[in-house]
Amino acid sequence: MSYKILISDPLNDDGIQPLLDRDDMLIDIQTDLTDEQLLEIISNYDALLVRSQTQVTRELIEKGVNLKIIGRAGVGVDNIDLDAATENGIIVVNAPNANTNSAAEHTMAMMMSLSRKIPQAYASLKSKRWERGKFLGTELKGKTLGIVGLGRIGAEVAFRAKGQRMNVIAFDPFLTEEKAEQMGVQYGTFEEVIQAGDFITVHTPLLKSTKHLINADAFKQMKDGVHILNCARGGIIDEEALYDAVVSKKVAGAALDVFEEEPATDNPLLELPEVIVTPHLGASTVEAQENVAVDVSHDVIQFLEEGSVQNPVNLPSVPKEILSKIEPYFHLAEKLGRFLSYLTEDVIRGVNISYSGDLTDVEVAPLTRNAVRGLLRRYHGIHINDVNALYLAERKDITVNENKTMNAKGFTNLINIEVTTDSGKHQVAGTLLNGLGARIVKVDHYRVDVTPEGHIVFIYHNDQPGVIGKMGNLLGEHDVNIATMQVDRADVGGDAVMLLKVDKDMKEDTLTVLEQLEEIKAVRTINL
Ligand SMILES: NC(=O)C1=CN([C@@H]2O[C@H](COP(=O)(O)OP(=O)(O)OC[C@H]3O[C@@H](n4cnc5c(N)ncnc54)[C@H](O)[C@@H]3O)[C@@H](O)[C@H]2O)C=CC1
Ligand SMILES: O=C(O)C(=O)COP(=O)(O)O
């Protein structure tokens, strides 16, 4: 099996070496494509690797019918339509830790350039003017830096700013007073931070909730002569409001690495001498570029080979040590869901998955996704996967619940999946037997013991003499070889089930003949 990978933004050559080294990965580097050209060729690729330039729109994702993974060689994923990727079962990965230092260092470089007007002085002297009186700066020492967004980069900026003897006050919805104290920063609300800062820097992602977070109202609350920095994402600061605040001298200076529209060569802010700018260079260092490319390359390889990744964006990330505990159950959960999908002929309304025994103290969300994937796979084929399973369930108005119980009914671990349909409930339970692998141990209320694989015929019938022989004869006549057979019943002479493992899928006409037998209530042919 070989994969085609398109790299549509410039990535570091050394960083993508792990991909280039692979004989089974065909790497196509095309960094000058127009949007139309990209739309035309995207269906040829299994993976797409981008930085911030390529706009990975819904249209592009929907045209990428073979896409399995999108790798963002950097942090911000606001150029990728994550909902569209999730709905189409495409995993998105990024490189969250790879450019933190570079972005933090760039922020510090911008802050020092801003405070000492270095870009303006540079431009003046380069044009052969010696204007010492024009560029009076301000010290950072003793000033207050207000940080909005104290994540990876924000925290590194805080650490460096303290090195400049600045007072740091920060707001982040996840920041507690205790955590702030540990980090040696003052904890503040958003308002407190913007009101206290002599310098204010934003380090949030661009989200609906952070769009124009720094707007005209926020500028009004700031100190007169405040300095503003944005090395995070264009759009967090309302550029029109910033323009007005600079012109009115409310803002003494601003340093911008990012813009609402990039490339930003026509941006009115470029006209203002108080505004210093760089063309989105926060991550543009040798080290960061190598690191981001290495990280996404590894995730693309690992995903295409094993189906797992280190840095998922549209799937919760599961720590390695937890993953190694639950991975053996992935297959079981998926097969149980799949088995159940053959028992239910009505519209599924709800799924209840219970985990017991050893599974009570592990993270089970990935197992739930696998179970739902198995359950819905008959309807969505290969287009359902871990990424979109829960989304597709939600779209079908299926409520998915998971719970944990201590009672594993004598097994060391047990997964029980119950589905509710308009006509009633069905359930199936399975376990991993030490050294023996996966087993289905219960179907509805009947006990069984069968490996969850191959062709299974599951028959609901009446418990009466002769049924088993009759069935055996009939299947023999239709050339169906029975590998194993199990029976269980509710009461003597009452409802009963028969579970047959057969060598191949049963033909439609055999099924029809079986269904016509008067002792038989229903037959399900199951292919796992
Ligand atoms: N200029 C450049 O080249 C680069 C820019 N970036 C940008 O920096 C952003 C931040 O990167 P990281 O620190 O690695 O991400 P992160 O996820 O570690 O930190 C973001 C923080 O923002 C906080 N946050 C979210 N909404 C908020 C709000 N309304 N108010 C205050 N805080 C809020 C989050 O709780 C989180 O702690 C990225 O999303 C990216 O857009 C990242 C790297 C390079
Ligand atoms: O990592 C990020 O979020 C960045 O903004 C860096 O963008 P780039 O990869 O340099 O286009």
Q: State pLDDT tens for residues 200-216.
A: 999 999 999 999 999 99
Closest ligand 2 atom number to CA of residue 282? 6
Closest ligand 1 atom number to CA of residue 282? 3
pLDDT at 492 (0 to 100):
85
Å from CA of 516 to ligand 2 middle:
65
Closest residue to atom 37 of ligand 1, CA basis: 151
Which CATH number applies to 3-98+287-306?
3.40.50.720
HSE toward the beta carbon, residue 492, CA cutoff 13 A: 0
Contacts of 410 (CB under 8 A, 6+ apart): none
Q: State pLDDT tens for residues 80-108.
A: 999 999 999 999 999 999 999 999 999 99
- Note if 290 is an active site residue: no
Q: Which ligand is nearest to the CA of 262?
A: 2
For the chain, give the mean pLDDT.
Answer: 94
**Spatial CA neighbour of 253 closest among 283, 230, 279:** 230
Q: Where are the beta strands (DSSP E) in 206-248?
A: 226-230
pLDDT at 473 (0 to 100):
87
Å from CA of 130 to ligand 1 middle:
40
Closest ligand 2 atom number to CA of residue 72? 9
Q: Answer whether 375's CB lies under 8 Å from 419's CB.
A: yes
Å from CA of 144 to ligand 1 middle:
20
User: Alpha-carbon distance 507 to 244, whole Å?
Assistant: 75
Residue 245: enclosing H or E segment and its boundaries? helix 239-247
The pair phi, psi for residue 369, each rounded to 5°, is -60, -40
Å from CA of 114 to ligand 1 middle:
21
Pocket of ligand 2, beta carbon within 6 A: 51-52, 73-76, 99, 280, 282-284
Which CATH number applies to 318-452?
3.30.1330.90
Using CA atoms, how far residue 457 sits from 196, 499, 518, in Å, is: 72, 6, 17
HSE toward the beta carbon, residue 75, CA cutoff 13 A: 23
User: 59, 192, 240, 262: which one is catalytic?
Assistant: 262
Site of tokens 């008959």: 378
- Note if 280 is an active site residue: yes
Provide the β-strand partners of residue 401.
352
User: Alpha-carbon distance 7 to 347, whole Å?
Assistant: 42
User: Alpha-carbon distance 129 to 137, whole Å?
Assistant: 18
Strands 437-443 vs 446-450: parallel, antiparallel or unpaired: antiparallel
Q: Answer whether 160's CB lies under 8 Å from 153's CB.
A: no
Q: Is the fold of 3-98+287-306 the same as that of 318-452? A: no
Q: Where are the domains of the chain?
A: 3-98+287-306, 100-277, 318-452, 454-528
Å from CA of 74 to ligand 2 middle:
5
Cis peptide bond upstream of 10, omega within 30: no
Closest residue to atom 9 of ligand 2, CA basis: 51
The CA-CA-CA angle for residues 320, 326, 327, to 5°, reads 80
Q: Is the CB of 458 under 6 A from ligand 1?
A: no
Strands 226-230 vs 251-256: parallel, antiparallel or unpaired: parallel
Token pair of 213 as six digits: 């977070």
Site of tokens 């934003």: 202
Q: Is 187 helix (H, G, I), strand (E, B) or coil?
A: strand
User: Alpha-carbon distance 185 to 195, whole Å?
Assistant: 16
Closest ligand 2 atom number to CA of residue 258? 5
Closest residue to atom 5 of ligand 2, CA basis: 76
Which CATH number applies to 100-277?
3.40.50.720
Å from CA of 260 to ligand 1 middle:
16
Å from CA of 205 to ligand 1 middle:
4
- Note if 447 is an active site residue: no
pLDDT at 96 (0 to 100):
95
CATH fold group of domain 454-528: Alpha-Beta Plaits (3.30.70)
Q: Is the CB of 296 under 6 A from ligand 1?
A: no
Q: Answer whether 458's CB lies under 8 Å from 464's CB.
A: no
Closest residue to atom 7 of ligand 1, CA basis: 232
User: Alpha-carbon distance 488 to 469, whole Å?
Assistant: 15
Q: Is the CB of 173 under 6 A from ligand 1?
A: yes
Q: Is 105 helix (H, G, I), strand (E, B) or coil?
A: helix
Closest ligand 1 atom number to CA of residue 204? 22
Q: Is the CB of 204 under 6 A from ligand 1?
A: yes
User: Alpha-carbon distance 38 to 35, whole Å?
Assistant: 5
Q: Is the CB of 154 under 6 A from ligand 1?
A: yes
Which residues of the chain fall short of a pLDDT of 50?
Answer: none
User: 160, 280, 298, 369: which one is catalytic?
Assistant: 280
**Spatial CA neighbour of 85 closest among 63, 115, 54, 111:** 63
